[in-house]
Amino acid sequence: MDDIVRREITNGWEGKRAPDYKNRVIFDETAVRFRHLRRCGSTMMGAIKFLSENQRAQSQLRTSLRDAFVTATKESRKLLIQEITSTRIPYLDAVSEEIFRMAGTIPSHVRTATEDTVVLGHVIPKGTDVLLSINGPGFTSPGFTIDENKRTESCRSTKGEKKQWDMDMFCLERWLVKSGKECVDRGAAPQMLFSLGPRGCFGKRSGQLNVRVLLVLLMWHFKFLPLPDELISDGIENFICRPRARICSVGKRTLMN
């Protein structure tokens, strides 16, 4: 919001007019920003849920952070924003990708067919709105069995290039590649939270940065303990998806453990 207001003040000064804080463009940008904040909050709720249920991954993430932020660890101090945003931490990136995949904050995308086409034997006329689910089979659970004869030749030629194992499991290792030094393959598994191509979310980098900063700070200062089975729940769909039970067990940690 500070950036939006500052830009309008600058535009008004350059155009020799009074700033117009109620113009339609600002309304639209503000609405997008608030939707972004709500989705980021729901994604972090999912992050806490998955890391609470996967203590090994949480412990390894904390170890990776200590190894990456050597100076802060030795000085037993809080992290600087410059350190969080500029330090290369493949395991943290893998955690983020798996959280984006499993949290499924957005249940689906909508696209309009621009021409008549056929998908897996189903005719889709031009102008049809198609809902593309991104938190079901093939994304967060095993995919459907498809008759290969119904696929196009280009689809069949790419089959098997990517592993799609254990899609219902929270598995960070699927994103990690070791070729000389450890790195992250962001195409290792289906993940469409931000969509793709020219219709992809223009706030993707902002969303990734927000989740990175929040995740690092939470892991640096707190431990998220396992919940009893009766308090563990799946997600609930509304405009966005979020865990049904918004409960977590938090333990304070020192900066050296």
- In the prediction, which pLDDT does 124 show? 94
* Region 217-246 average pLDDT: 71
Structure tokens at 178: 């070791």
- In the prediction, which pLDDT does 84 show? 95
Q: Kindly compute the dihedral angle of the four CA atoms of residues 61, 243, 33, 185, in this order, to the nearest 10 degrees.
A: 40
* Region 208-223 average pLDDT: 92
Nearest to 105 by CA among 17, 37, 158, 166: 37
pLDDT tens per residue, range 25-84: 776 666 666 666 667 778 888 888 889 989 999 999 999 999 999 999 999 899 999 999
Is 134 a residue whose pLDDT tops 90? no
- In the prediction, which pLDDT does 55 show? 92
Phi, psi of 186 (to 5 degrees): -75, -5
- In the prediction, which pLDDT does 59 show? 93
- The H-assigned helical ranges of 69-200 are 70-75, 81-86, 90-103, 153-158
Structure tokens at 153: 């030749």
Is 244 a residue whose pLDDT tops 60? no
CA-to-CA distance for 41 and 211, rounded, in angstroms? 9
Higher pLDDT, 98 or 168: 98
Phi, psi of 208 (to 5 degrees): -60, -40
pLDDT tens per residue, range 85-113: 999 999 999 999 999 888 877 778 888 99
* Region 153-175 average pLDDT: 76
CA-to-CA distance for 136 and 192, rounded, in angstroms? 12
Name the band, by pLDDT with cuts 50, 70 and 90, for residue 163: low
Overall fold of domain 27-103+171-252: Cytochrome p450 (1.10.630)
SS3 call for 119: strand
Q: What is the mean pLDDT of the chain?
A: 81
C-alpha distances out from residue 64 to 47, 85, 88, 94, 209, Å: 17, 15, 10, 12, 18
- The H-assigned helical ranges of 54-182 are 55-68, 70-75, 81-86, 90-103, 153-158
Side-chain-side CA neighbours of 24 within 13 Å: the count stands at 0
pTM of the model: 0.75
Environment class of 62 (CB within 10 Å of its CB; exposed 0-12, middle 13-18, buried 19+): middle
Nearest to 228 by CA among 242, 248, 243: 248
Segments making up each domain of the chain, as ranges: 27-103+171-252
CA-to-CA distance for 126 and 8, rounded, in angstroms? 40
Higher pLDDT, 143 or 27: 143
- The H-assigned helical ranges of the chain are 2-14, 24-53, 55-68, 70-75, 81-86, 90-103, 153-158, 204-221
Is 245 a residue whose pLDDT tops 70? no
Phi, psi of 47 (to 5 degrees): -60, -45
Name the band, by pLDDT with cuts 50, 70 and 90, for residue 149: confident
Tell me, rounded to whole angstroms, the distance of Cα 221 from its chain centroid. Answer: 22
